[in-house]
A = this chain, B = another copy of it.
């Protein structure tokens, strides 16, 4: 219903790009818990509602941020040998997510965004097929690895966060203040069993998982007879 189409009305001062840039700065420098629409608007010397003109809502904003980071290929060359390829893709996935300090915060509420790292996911499924699994089993193998990787990521994150505020998350304070007589388990091991999860721990676990998924027995029929 307009004459030329483009270039009508007031010229924009904000842009989706500028918004994403600012949001990323906040995430990196202040952490995911400080990213809010209001805070972001302040950062841009604008009002909360101006943002809603460039982004549908906060969820879309987070989605775009995740896509921005994981969308760009990370350049690592994957090896050709199938098993090594599977391992390398998994490690690369973990690293990609670990290197955006906020990815975990975005993933936690809705974990299936896993798919946004498509290149690595398909690499993993293909490598699993090349290892001799049928398609169904290959997808299953990918999912097992993804669950392991996500779990490791989230646990490690929560430990780091706790340590960063020198051991005084509200949660930790709460654990410490519990009466050990009434809550023996929590009080006793408030974190002990989750020692430092290192990269080499992840790798060791990953190799065990992959070996397990590729073991000869993996080819047996899916509906194993129930034992009793």
Contact = CB atoms under 8 A, between A and B. Distances in A.
Contacts of A178: 60, 63, 67
Given A63-B178, A197-B143, A111 B154 contact: yes
Interface stretch (A6-14, A20-28, A200-208): A200-208
Interface stretch (A35-43, A44-52, A212-220): A212-220
A57 to B, nearest CB: 6
Give the number of times this chain occurs in the complex, counting copies. 2
Contact of A59 (B157, B174, B222): B174
A112 interface: yes
A165 to B, nearest CB: 12
Contact of A121 (B157, B159, B193, B222): B193
A99 B111 CA distance: 19
A194 B117 CA distance: 13
A132 interface: no
Interface in A129-165: 139-144, 146-152, 154-155, 157-159, 162
A167 interface: no
Interface of A: 56-60, 63-64, 67, 71, 108-119, 121, 139-144, 146-152, 154-155, 157-159, 162, 169-171, 173-175, 177-178, 183, 185-186, 188-195, 197, 201, 204-205, 207-213, 215, 217-218, 222
